[in-house]
Structure 1
Amino acid sequence: MNALINVVLPIFGIILTGYLAGRLEVLGRDSAAALNRFVFYFAVPPALFIATARAPIDKIFNWPFIGAFVGGSMLTLPIALVVGRFWFRHDVATLSIAGLAAVFGNVFTMGLPLLLTAYGPDGALPSIVAALSITLLLICGAIAVLEGARATEPSALRLAVQLAGTILRNPLVISPLLGILFAITALPLPKVASNYLDLMAAAVAPAALFALGLSLIDSKLTGNATEVIWLTALKVIANPALTFALVTYVFVLDPLWSQAAIILSAMPIGANPYVIAQQYNVHVETVSSAVVVSTGMSLVTLSLLMIWLGVG
């Protein structure tokens, strides 16, 4: 019960505060977009850089953790693809979006603040390693499939350029990679720069959660209700269950990292699947609804999970 009171309720309390600020029109509708941009470009990158730059390099390349977290997603993905193809009759492009939604959790704007609240500064690194792993693997994979599906004459070179451009434009990928460079080379960080980055990073948890709540104002429940429920169940129930099996029976991890792998696997569907769905105009309504429903459902599933793990 302490986990629910001390960790989960404050997290969802800030999300609710953001939602009410928008619903009561204390902040205008443009505020959500502005605050999301602040989080994406100015708050999260310093947090990712600082956490990786200061971490021992063996902690960054925690292969058992990566294996457990990514492995849980890779075991969930075929289930989503098989059901999507033979039950929902999706084509290749739609399958890629549905599959991405089933395994890409909100590890940045929700997972990172939650683990920071639960474990303090030690909770940052698992979130970063998990986010970097699935971003490089799943986002690049989904874009490659979508580009290949819509190209009349698929070009390996064009796909490679597209993927490289996507990665190089993403501050959430570049910032931890720069941090890893600092960790490997042991480059000193001037005190003034360190203090500046620490101040910016401190805004991540409240700003990201508040922005998430504010952004729910314009979300609408449309699309295939059956598939929305199915994708939600895959993400917040099946994914963490499979990760738990890997943590328990396959990989050896210390308690914090093993709990972090399970908790991060239980995150609701993140915003990136929706952004990509919009960009390619594929399965937009269903993915949008799944983001909202899974976020609401995670209040229950994460509460039960945190209580079961004894976190907080």
Structure 2
Amino acid sequence: MSPKLILSDILQKILAVVVLAAVLRFWHPTGGRGGKLGWLITGLSISVLPNTLILGIPILSAIYGDEAASILEQIVVLQSLIWYSILLFLFELNAARALPSSGPSLEHTGNDHEEANIEEEPKEENEEEVAIVRTRSIGTMKILLKAWRKLIINPNTYATLIGIIWATLHFRLGWNLPEMIDKSIHLLSDGGLGMAMFSLGLFMASQSSIIACGTKMAIITMLLKFVLGPALMIASAFCIRLRSTLFKVAILQAALPQGVVPFVFAKEYNLHPEIISTGVIFGMKQSWLKVQDSTPKSAKKPEDYQGDQKFSVTTYSSTGVAITTTGTNKGSVFLGDVATQVKNKNYTADVKVSTDSSLLTTLTFDEPAPGLKVIVQAKLPDHKSGKAEVQYFHDYAAISTSVGFTASPIVNFSGVVGSNVLALGTDVAFNTESGNFKHFNAGLNFTKDDLIASLILNDKGEKLNASYYQIVNPLTNTVVGAEISHNFTTKENAITVGTQHAIDPLTTVKARVNNAGVANALIQHEWRPKSFFTVSGEVDSRAIEKSAKVGIALALKP
């Protein structure tokens, strides 16, 4: 046990109370519930109560090893036994203060003899002031007693005490619970966090916006979480003189995402749950990036990073000729190409020259007959790359076939038939030299209103994919989807679920996770028309010790 760490944690909470009380003394947020005490409780929940158990121990153990886990265990115990109990008492106190007072109130009322006994007025006023002070003291005591009684009968309080008593008996005397009771308790403890997260998801889904508290309050929440909390821990750590790994872990745990327990309390007492829920969700994203930046350089290898640059410029002449220049830098290799396109009525010619001294030419003849398109393509100096393709489009059918310019060409055929509700399609490639199918795919698609479902057979009938796409809310572009894949040869199954949501008309958030434990997420913002800024990330939950992948993309279009 580290007494310095415990003292530093206690000092951080004291400093947080002082700072928040001083701010609320001169600035009171508009709206909300619970008065200044309610805002103080919310500020403490956001700034100094991180998620040390579920996220803190796995993440910091991956960075600093088992020593970080033993350090965080002390903070977890202190937080569960002391700080959550105090937080619960503050919630009860705030709820008791909000109830209408039933005690007597003193009012000064006039009467017909008001002008009499003028000399006795100062004495009466002094007696009235004393009575008011006494009444307020009695009212405060009643509120404290009411909050204390509710705290004592709260399951969180006596369950914690019972847990401490049993842990003492178990480790000191070696007593064990019957297996049935022990498994039942473990089942309840494992399901508690899941139910809390489910409640958080239900609450956020019921809000009109993912930022339920508003943009201004969300910014204040992030400042409290990632500026005030770590800053106060740094100050307390310097005062207590923490050193080495103890100092680093103390600072990083203060920057962890906000705990879920404060949201459960806030939801139960209806005290700014929209602020706490926003802090939990966005705190997870921001703190994940912060922990990534705090990872020691020795834990990061050059192969953990990949940086490629691509630059493309397109110009158009007055005669309709388009010229596109593209350069791509992949590691130490630079690739570039120049492409031009010329259109004349229903003829289109595309020519592309690459740095590998290849010339790709594509000629397109559109509408020689209604619904028909002919494409001829060749790449020099590879004389075997040429092919001809014919496409036919109808209201209820589409066919495409292509043949290579070789002695034993590969013939490709794809077609689809159906309506705007139900469609059946196939894609076949036949090798005339070997007399075998190169690939054979078939699919069935159903589309109706906001629902899309499909069934696809791939890899010559060895793999079956089923997908589902549902638009939940067209106003916010909220979409959910799932895909299930089964391999008939290996008997393996793969499941992927995903969702997307538009925070505003210009910003979209997407996420997906599969049964292998790989989770992906991205946020994309259209900061100007046709220009996007995207931040994406990928993490393998089954290999949390490995570095996560983070990508940043900027697309500029005129």
- Measure, in 2, the Cα distance between the counterparts of 1:309 and 1:210: 38
- Partner SS state of residue 173, structure 2: coil
C-alpha change, 1:168 and 1:223, in structure 2 (3 Å) is closer
Deviation at 1:68, TM superposition (A): 0.8
Deviation at 1:218, TM superposition (A): 5.9
Q: Is the 8 A contact 1:98 1:231 kept in 2?
A: no
Aligned counterpart for 1:161 among listed residues 149, 154, 161 = 149
1:130 deviates by 3.7
Q: Deviations over 1:82-102 (max 9, x none)?
A: 434533436234323322333
Q: How far, CA to CA, are the matches of 1:164 and 1:100 in structure 2?
A: 22
Instruction: Identify which of 177, 202, 224 aligns with 1:234.
Output: 224
User: Are residues 83 and 300 of structure 1, via their aligned partners in 2, closer, same or farther at CA, if it must alter by over 3 Å?
Assistant: farther
**What's 1:66 paired with?**
6
Counterpart Cα distance in 2 of 1:309 and 1:232: 29
Q: How has the CA–CA distance of structure 1 residues 217 and 295 changed in structure 2, closer, same or farther, with 3 Å as cutoff?
A: farther
Q: In the superposition, relative to structure 1, how do residues 140 and 309 fare at CA in structure 2: closer, same or farther (>3 Å)?
A: farther
Alpha-carbon separation, structure 2, partners of 1:80 and 1:308: 36
User: Which residue identity is paired with 1:92?
Assistant: K
Contact 2:41 2:87 in 1 (8 A): no
2:174 corresponds to which of 188, 193, 197: 188
Q: Percent identical across equivalent pairs?
A: 18
CA distance in 1, matches of 2:212, 2:27: 19
1:271 deviates by 2.2
Q: CA deviation at 1:291?
A: 2.2
Secondary structure of the residue that 2:286 maps to in structure 1?
helix
Q: Deviations over 1:234-263 (max 9, x none)?
A: 22222122212322342446x454333223
Question: 1:109 maps to what in 2?
Answer: 54
Equivalent position SS for 2:154: helix
Higher helix share: 1
Does 1:92 find its partner at 2:36? Answer: yes
Is contact 1:271-1:291 (8 Å) kept?
yes
Q: CA deviation at 1:213?
A: 9.2
TM-score, structure 1 as length reference: 0.61
Q: How far is 1:79 from its partner?
A: 2.9
1:150 aligns with 2:99: yes
Deviates more, 1:230-239 or 1:149-158: 149-158
Where does residue 70 of structure 2 map in the other structure? 122
- Give the drift of 1:143: 3.0
Distance in structure 1 (CA, Å) of the matches to 2:194 and 2:238: 31
Task: Name the structure with the higher strand share.
Answer: 2
CA contact (8 A) 1:72 1:265 kept: no
RMSD: 4.0
Q: Helix, strand or coil for the counterpart of 1:186?
A: helix
Kindly indicate whether the alpha-carbon contact (under 8 Å) linking 2:196 and 2:260 is maintained by their aligned counterparts in 1. Answer: no
Task: Give the Cα separation in 1 of the matches to 2:298 and 2:265.
Answer: 34
- Residue 235 of structure 1 contacts residue 269 of structure 1 at CA under 8 Å; is this kept in 2? yes
Greater Rg by CA = 2
Contact 2:7/2:240, CA 8 A, preserved across alignment: no
With structure 2 as the length reference, what TM-score do the two structures score? Answer: 0.37
Q: CA offsets per residue over residues 196-238 of structure 1, 9 Å max, x none?
A: 78xx59x97xx96998599558633112322221122222222
Distance 2:162 2:241 in 1: 28
**Structure 1's 275 and 189: CA in aligned 2 closer, same or farther, altered over 3 A?**
same
Q: Is the 8 A contact 2:89 2:147 kept in 1?
A: no
Gap regions ≥5 residues in structure 1: 1-58
Give the number of equivalent residue pairs: 244
Q: Structure 1 residues 276, 85: closer, same or farther in 2, change over 3 A?
A: farther
**Contact 1:222 1:289 (8 Å CA) reproduced:** yes
Aligned equivalents of 1:123, 1:271: Cα separation in 2 = 21
